[in-house]
């Protein structure tokens, strides 16, 4: 068989799209090798392999391997030429995103999904960073607030925020009024905390109310990475049990990653059968549920200003130096 004929046989089974390759790579390569083997077998029994056909049309014994490489190299090029996803965020420029849908999680909690311009695009937010969202209030005045999404760059084409709606919250009220297709402006990434896998052996987290989202983001990145062995200890304070955000996710992590993730809930107004903490975060709770202070530990905090101040005092008194603390 002539070289051009054999290439033609292989080309019959080479897919024309990267999606087809990704969906069944083993099938693609099996088809290629099968085609090559069949062509080789046919050629060995055919007089076309004899020198009678001339030097240009004869195929040496290693030709099947060469032909396979000829077919595979373009495929590998297609696979790896554009593996880096496009990033949406720009640090100095606001960009519009439309609301895809709004989900009612509880009486005062909503999950907002905003659609990115391209289904293969990622938001481009490093772990530990946040996004600035801008809107107009009912009087047409500018409102800006920092928010941490609950999705990361493993989610393509969209970004999700879980937000507590406050009666007097300017931005949360702006978002509550949104309908599908309405837009807000987004800019980032922002923030001073840059998480790196295994940067500490253990991370303590203290969160209050909607201050839980940065903790969720960091914990999610840690538990999702099989090469990150950091242990996470979370104390999460709220007024009532209904106020606990992302509880389903935290409880699942505690069950699935019991040796690496622990959560302790604290309620100001607990139900009668409550088995968690009661009241405000105390020095005793910190000692019992967070790792002890040392150079391989950092404790993060995020919540209302009074809580942050109180927790800072507790951590200082417990032996955590300033280098062992970070406030979002």
Indicate which residue of 127, 148, 151, 230 is catalytic: 148
Indicate which residue of 151, 158, 264, 302 is catalytic: 302
To the question of whether residue 147 is assigned a binding role by annotation, the answer is: yes
Residue 147 annotated in active site? yes
To the question of whether residue 36 is assigned a binding role by annotation, the answer is: no
To the question of whether residue 145 is assigned a binding role by annotation, the answer is: yes
To the question of whether residue 213 is assigned a binding role by annotation, the answer is: yes
Indicate which residue of 127, 147, 236, 265 is catalytic: 147
Alpha helices, H only, the chain:
3-11, 18-23, 25-44, 63-80, 170-176, 212-224, 247-256, 283-289, 305-317
Q: Packing angle between helix 25-44 and helix 63-80, nearest 10 degrees? A: 160
Contact by Cβ (8 Å): 196, 187:
no
CA dihedral of residues 9, 14, 15, 19 (deg, nearest 10): 170
Measured in degrees and rounded to the nearest 5, phi and psi for residue 96 equal: -80, 145
To the question of whether residue 164 is assigned a binding role by annotation, the answer is: yes
- Contacts of residue 121, defined as CB under 8 A and 6 or more positions apart, other chains included, come to 85, 86, 87, 88, 156, 157
Q: Packing angle between helix 212-224 and helix 247-256, nearest 10 degrees? A: 30
Measured in degrees and rounded to the nearest 5, phi and psi for residue 271 equal: -75, 165
To the question of whether residue 162 is assigned a binding role by annotation, the answer is: yes
135 vs 170: CA distance, rounded Å: 9
To the question of whether residue 177 is assigned a binding role by annotation, the answer is: no
217 vs 105: CA distance, rounded Å: 19
> Residue 319 corresponds to which tokens in the numbers above?
């032996």
Measured in degrees and rounded to the nearest 5, phi and psi for residue 40 equal: -65, -45
Residue 302 annotated in active site? yes
Indicate which residue of 8, 107, 130, 289 is catalytic: 130
Angstrom CA distances, 201 to 143, 236, 260, 322, 327, stand at 39, 21, 10, 18, 19
126 vs 201: CA distance, rounded Å: 20
- Residue 110, strand partner residues: 104, 163
Residue 174 annotated in active site? no
Contact by Cβ (8 Å): 138, 171:
no
Positions at the binding site for FAD: 145-147, 162, 164, 170-172, 213
Positions at the binding site: 145-147, 162, 164, 170-172, 213
Catalytic residues, by residue number, are 130, 147-148, 302
């Amino acid at each position: 068989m002539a070289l051009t004929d054999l290439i033609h046989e292989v080309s019959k089974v080479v897919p024309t799209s990267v999606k087809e390759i990704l969906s069944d790579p083993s099938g693609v390569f099996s088809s290629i090798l099968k085609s090559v083997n069949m062509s080789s077998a046919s050629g060995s029994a055919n007089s076309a392999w004899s020198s009678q056909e001339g030097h240009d049309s004869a195929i040496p014994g290693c030709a099947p391997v060469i032909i396979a490489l000829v077919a595979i190299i373009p495929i590998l090029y297609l696979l790896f030429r554009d593996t880096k996803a496009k990033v949406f965020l720009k640090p100095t420029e606001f960009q519009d995103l439309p609301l895809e849908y709004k989900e009612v999680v509880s009486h005062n909690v909503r999950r907002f999904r905003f659609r990115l311009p391209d289904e293969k695009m990622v938001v481009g937010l490093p772990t530990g960073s946040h996004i600035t969202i801008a809107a107009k209030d009912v009087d047409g005045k500018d409102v800006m607030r920092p928010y941490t999404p609950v999705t990361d760059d493993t989610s393509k084409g969209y970004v999700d925020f879980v937000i507590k709606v406050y009666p007097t919250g300017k931005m949360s009220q702006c978002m509550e009024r949104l309908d599908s297709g309405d837009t807000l402006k987004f800019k980032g990434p922002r923030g001073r905390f840059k998480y790196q896998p295994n940067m500490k052996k253990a991370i303590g987290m203290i969160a209050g109310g909607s201050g839980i989202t940065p903790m969720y983001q960091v914990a999610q990145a840690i538990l999702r990475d099989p090469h990150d062995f950091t242990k996470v200890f979370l104390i999460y304070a709220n007024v009532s049990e209904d106020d606990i955000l992302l509880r389903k996710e935290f409880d699942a992590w505690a069950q699935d990653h019991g040796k690496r993730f622990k959560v302790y809930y604290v309620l100001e107004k607990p139900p009668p059968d409550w088995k968690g903490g009661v009241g405000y975060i105390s020095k005793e709770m910190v000692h019992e549920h967070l790792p002890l202070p040392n150079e391989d530990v950092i404790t993060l905090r995020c919540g209302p200003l009074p809580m942050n101040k109180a927790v800072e005092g507790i951590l200082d008194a417990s032996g955590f130096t300033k280098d062992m603390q970070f406030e979002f």
